[in-house]
Amino acid sequence: MSNKVLKAFSNYFPPAVVTEGKRVHSLFTLLLKEHLTAVEEFLKSGSHKVMELHRKLGSIHVDFKRLEPLDYTRKSLLNINRREELYEAVCRRAYKGC
């Protein structure tokens, strides 16, 4: 993630999470130290649905369109959960797009 994107996102009042349409990029989140207790409780509960944590915290949704002018390549949204996403990331880096 570029410094420009991070700085622009940090202008939003936490808790905040980046969204793109209906997709929530849960790892692209802004929290305060005061939120740590709620995060710890969430982790101890065994829940794996990060959207539940955002609902509990009352996270505001920041549409990536607001940040996209600072990251037109969308590298900030890179998420590797599946083999196809890994191939795409390697392809982007090696060939600047395939």
d(CA 11, CA 86) in angstroms, rounded, equals 31
* pLDDT, tens digit (0-9, with 9 covering 90-100), for 10-46: 999 999 999 998 888 887 899 999 999 999 999 999 9
Residue 8 resides in a domain: yes
Residue 46 resides in a domain: yes
Q: What is the CATH number of the domain that holds 42?
A: 3.90.550.10
Residue 95 resides in a domain: no
Residue 94 resides in a domain: no
Residue 98 resides in a domain: no
Please tell me the total count of domains within the chain.
1
Please give the residue range of the domain that contains residue 64: 3-72
- 62 CA to centre of own chain: 10
* pLDDT, tens digit (0-9, with 9 covering 90-100), for 85-97: 788 777 766 555 4
Residue 23 resides in a domain: yes
d(CA 76, CA 24) in angstroms, rounded, equals 13
**Confidence tier at 2 by pLDDT (50, 70, 90):** confident
